[in-house]
Structure 1
Amino acid sequence: MKLMSVIPMALLVMLPLASNAADKACLIEGKFSFMGQTIHSKDCVQSDPKESEAAFKGSCEALANMSVQMGGEAGKIDYMEQCPLPAQGVCKGMMGTKRDAYYYARSESDLSTLPASCGQLGGTWSSAD
């Protein structure tokens, strides 16, 4: 399994939950280098309905800044009511939460590793939504 599939998914559920989130989703786009490859990323995180807006936005910012640690620039974040459809795949209910991750613009090889990563994090994979 690719490390790049597991790390971002794990970060999606690390912040505490509260209530009344106004922005329910964040779309993060960027690129970074990993093991000599330039990786283009376009993923969206759908919030748990009970999560506070501040906690959710903090989580999105942490994900966007992860690419800086890998030699890239911070990803661009767009907040919205829900993640856009269609997606290439969705990991639903990661780590026992109601948080979902939507994936777009992934290569076939990268996309093929995501179902196993999702399952390891306790989520349910859906190929398209």
Structure 2
Amino acid sequence: MHITRKRPDTLRGPAENFTGTVWLDEIAAPAAPSRLRMFNVHFAPGAHTAWHRHPHGQVLHVLEGEGLVQRRGGEAESIRAGDTVWIEPGEWHWHGAAPRSFMTHLAVVEAAEDGTTVEWHEHVTDYPA
């Protein structure tokens, strides 16, 4: 067992992967053989990810606020505090805050054998207003 009492510094979401103001807090990145990665992600109103996918899928659990999530080819769907979203392995998607609301979610992924957790693509061009 290991208890972490000091968290890594909060990091700003890089502009190449996010639109708007996003803050990332690493919650879990245990040593091998574990491949679990967990972040607490804080989105300002209208902030969101670029299109991306995960080799083993992703779980999002909304802690507060309202947001949106969309899979490629589908409609943007509303998500709210208490909602949990399962995103299939390899499924292109984006997620973030609703246009007029902050949103915080836990993001849980499993790294691939080579250590990668995400493949980033282009920015969202038709974000709902």
TM class, shorter-length: under 0.3
Q: TM-score, normalised by structure 1?
A: 0.26
Higher strand share: 2
Q: TM-score, normalised by structure 2?
A: 0.26
Higher helix share: 1
Q: Is the radius of gyration larger for structure 1 or structure 2? A: 2
